[in-house]
């Protein structure tokens, strides 16, 4: 079952060119995914009851047209079926302008984390039945390819997890990783047009105060950012932009 929300693009969702940013799009997607989960009993207010929540593992975003400040945007989302017992599931998104023109699509991968037992729970069709899933799982899997860490990096910046970065799940919000990635992009890339394709894969959460390294590389016309622990022992996330 598809869920739809209509939004008006505000200042927080546009960049220096007055166009909807990738960060702004993901913010809308995060909002409607959270809204949908709340409708079926897996929302923010249900975390204690469920002993956990769905956490995101991957984003894949393709943008075809950039809307601007004050434009109307329509976002539709739906969960995909779980065809066998597994540790992850998928959710797709379609983004339209007010005239029903498709301007972007996105795919995402999720897991259910039990905060009480501190472990990932297995999923099956019964677990996600409340979402009334639909669609082709294989097509979505093909969109979310594994991202490899580059062999070397052109630049590295150090940072840490601030109080403002932490969300309701007591770790760095997934959108903050994208902001960190933009901090290490070359200036000519950062100040040019927003890149149309985005992949993010999350590996290990970042807690308040954790010291991290943001590492940049350019390979095969892709801008790759690896966010890792300061001692290089743990990768927190990998971001690809092209």
Q: What are the angstrom distances between the C-alpha of 42 and each of 36, 49, 106?
A: 8, 9, 21
Beta strands per DSSP E along 137-221? 155-160, 197-202, 211-219
Mean pLDDT of the region 150-178: 96
**Residue 190 above 90 pLDDT?**
yes
Structural domains present in the chain? 3-143 (3.10.129.10), 155-241 (3.10.129.10)
pLDDT value at residue 51: 92
Mean pLDDT of the region 9-14: 98
**Residue 201 above 90 pLDDT?**
yes
Mean pLDDT of the region 212-226: 97
**Residue 84 above 90 pLDDT?**
no
Token pair, residue 100, equals 């029903």
Q: What are the angstrom distances between the C-alpha of 129 and each of 52, 91, 115, 190?
A: 17, 13, 22, 42
pLDDT value at residue 126: 84
- Under the banding of pLDDT at 50, 70 and 90, the label for residue 169 is confident
pLDDT value at residue 230: 97
**Residue 192 above 90 pLDDT?**
yes
pLDDT value at residue 83: 84
Token pair, residue 41, equals 């009993």
- CA dist 209 and 212 (Å) reads 9
- CA dist 214 and 37 (Å) reads 32
pLDDT value at residue 99: 98
Q: Is 37 exposed, middle or buried (0-12, 13-18, 19+ CB in 10 A)?
A: buried
Token pair, residue 169, equals 């799940």
This prediction's pTM: 0.95
- CA dist 126 and 121 (Å) reads 13
Model confidence pLDDT, tens digit, residues 36-65: 999 999 999 999 999 999 999 999 999 999
- ∠ CA 236-240-241, nearest 5°, is 140
Of the chain, the percentage scoring pLDDT greater than 90 comes to 95
Residues 6+ apart with CB under 8 A from 192: none
Mean pLDDT of the chain: 96
Model confidence pLDDT, tens digit, residues 101-127: 999 999 999 999 999 899 999 998 888
């Amino acid at each position: 079952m598809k869920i739809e929300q209509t939004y008006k693009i505000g200042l927080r969702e546009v960049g220096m060119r007055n166009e909807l940013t990738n960060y702004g799009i993901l913010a809308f997607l995060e909002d409607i995914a959270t809204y949908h989960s709340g409708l079926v009993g897996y929302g923010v207010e249900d975390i204690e009851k469920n002993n956990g929540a769905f956490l995101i593992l991957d984003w894949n975003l393709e943008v075809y047209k950039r809307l601007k400040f004050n434009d109307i945007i329509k976002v539709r989302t739906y969960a995909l079926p779980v065809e066998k017992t597994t540790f992850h599931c998928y959710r797709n998104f379609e983004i339209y302008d007010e005239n029903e023109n498709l301007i972007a699509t996105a795919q995402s991968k999720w897991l259910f984390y039990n905060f009480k037992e501190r472990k990932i729970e297995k999923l099956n069709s019964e677990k996600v039945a409340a979402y009334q899933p639909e669609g082709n799982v294989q097509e979505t899997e093909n969109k979310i390819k594994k991202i490899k860490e580059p062999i070397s990096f052109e630049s590295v910046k150090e940072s840490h997890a601030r109080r403002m970065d932490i969300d309701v799940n007591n770790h760095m919000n997934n959108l903050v990783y994208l902001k960190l990635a933009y901090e290490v992009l070359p200036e000519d890339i950062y100040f040019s047009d927003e890149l149309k394709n985005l992949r993010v894969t999350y590996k290990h959460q970042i807690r308040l105060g954790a010291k991290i390294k943001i590492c940049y590389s350019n390979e095969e016309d892709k801008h790759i950012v690896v966010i890792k622990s300061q001692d290089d022992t743990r990768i927190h996330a990998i971001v690809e932009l092209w």
